[in-house]
Amino acid sequence: MQLLVNIIVLSSIYALIACGYVLIYRVSRVLNLAHGELMMLGAYLLLTTASLFNGNPWLAISAAVALSLAVGVMVYVFLMRKMTGEMVLAAVLATVALGILLRGVMVLVWSAQQQYPGQAMGFTSTALALPGGARISLFAAILVGVTALTYLALFVFLRFGRWGVRMRAAGQNPLLAAQRGINLHGVYALAWGLSTLTGSLAGMLIALDSGLTGSMAIIGLKAFPAALVGGLDSLIGALIGALIIGASEVLSIQYIDPLLSDVVPFLVLIAMLIARPWGLFGTREELDRV
C-alpha cells in the first residue's frame, strides 16, 4: 500500500513537471532543457516572497506564482524569441545555456545551503494516515491534488479557452495560424509562461515538502523521460508517461538497487526511443519535422 502511495506521489511530481515540457514542445517544437532550473527558480522565488510577506503565506504563494509566470514570459521575450527559425540544436542549446546561467545566479543570490520555505511561512508538515496503513505527508497529498487540478485546467483551457485553441493552432501549423491573425509571439510567450508556472508549482511544492537545495534541477531532468515516453506533444501522454516512469523508479528502488533511481527513467527512455520514438500518444509525422 505504501508502495502504491509512493508511486502516485512520485508520478504526480513527474507529471506536474512534464506538462511544462509538453506545453512548450507542443506549441513551439522547442525542447526546454532549462525546465528543471526554472522550476527551482520558482521555489526560490517562493522563499523570497515568503520573507517579504511575512505572516501571510497565501499572498506569498500567489505572488511567487505570478512572478514565475512573468519569468517564463521574459525567458521567451529576451532569449527564445531570437532563436525562432534557428537550428533545432541552437534553440535547445540556448535553453541549456540558460539553465547553467540560472543555476549560477541562483547560488549567488540564495546560496547553496539547504533551505526550508515551509518553515519560513509557518507551515508544518504532518503525515496523514491513509486506509491500508500507508502514510503520506500533507504536502505530498496537496501535490497530488494540485497535479490533478492543473491537468484538468489545462485540458479545459486547451479545448475551450480562446487562447488555448490559438495555442493548439500555432502548434499544428504556425504559418497558417499566423495567416489567420493569431499573434504567434503572444502564443509562444504564453506557452513559456504557463510552462514555467506549472514547473514552479511543482518546485514550490517539492520545496515545501522536503526542503530546497541546488540539486533540485535533477528532478526536472528526470521528469523529461516522462514527457517523452508519453509523447512529447500529448498531455494525456505526459500523465501516463509519468505513471510509467514513477512506477518503474519506485519499484526498482524497492526491489533491485537504490542506486538505480537516477538511471531508471533514462533506461525507460532509451527503451522507448528504440521501440516507439514518438511516444505512446505522440503524433508520428513529427519525427520528420524535427
Give the shortest CB-87-to-another protein separation in angstroms.
8
Give the shortest CB-40-to-another protein separation in angstroms.
13
Contact call for residues 136 and 9 (beta carbons, < 8 A) = yes
Cell numbers placing 230: 508519453
Q: Which is nearer to another protein, 164 or 279 (CB)?
A: 279
Give the shortest CB-165-to-another protein separation in angstroms.
26
Give the shortest CB-71-to-another protein separation in angstroms.
16
Contact call for residues 55 and 122 (beta carbons, < 8 A) = yes
Cell numbers placing 73: 514570459
Give the shortest CB-19-to-another protein separation in angstroms.
18
Q: Which is nearer to another protein, 4 or 100 (CB)?
A: 100
Q: Which residues bind another protein (CB under 8 A)?
A: 31, 79, 82-83, 86, 88-90, 92-94, 96-105, 107-108, 112, 221, 224-225, 228, 259-260, 262-263, 266-267, 269-270, 273-274, 277, 287, 290
Q: Which is nearer to another protein, 37 or 209 (CB)?
A: 37
Give the shortest CB-212-to-another protein separation in angstroms.
16
Q: How far is CA 91 from CA 28, 129, 192, 225, in A?
A: 11, 46, 14, 19
Q: Which is nearer to another protein, 135 or 262 (CB)?
A: 262
Give the shortest CB-259-to-another protein separation in angstroms.
6
Residue 255 one-letter amino acid: Y
CA distance 76 to 188: 7
Rg of the Cα atoms in the chain: 19
Contact call for residues 25 and 7 (beta carbons, < 8 A) = no
Q: Which is nearer to another protein, 58 or 288 (CB)?
A: 288
Find residue 128's DSSP bridge partners: 136
CA distance 211 to 147: 19
- CA angle in degrees (0–180, nearest 5) for 281-97-151: 30
Give the shortest CB-287-to-another protein separation in angstroms.
7
Q: Which is nearer to another protein, 151 or 278 (CB)?
A: 278
Q: Which is nearer to another protein, 96 or 158 (CB)?
A: 96
CA distance 202 to 199: 5
Task: State how far Cα 120 lies from the chain centre.
Answer: 24
Q: Which is nearer to another protein, 59 or 97 (CB)?
A: 97
Contact call for residues 29 and 289 (beta carbons, < 8 A) = yes
CA distance 223 to 202: 11
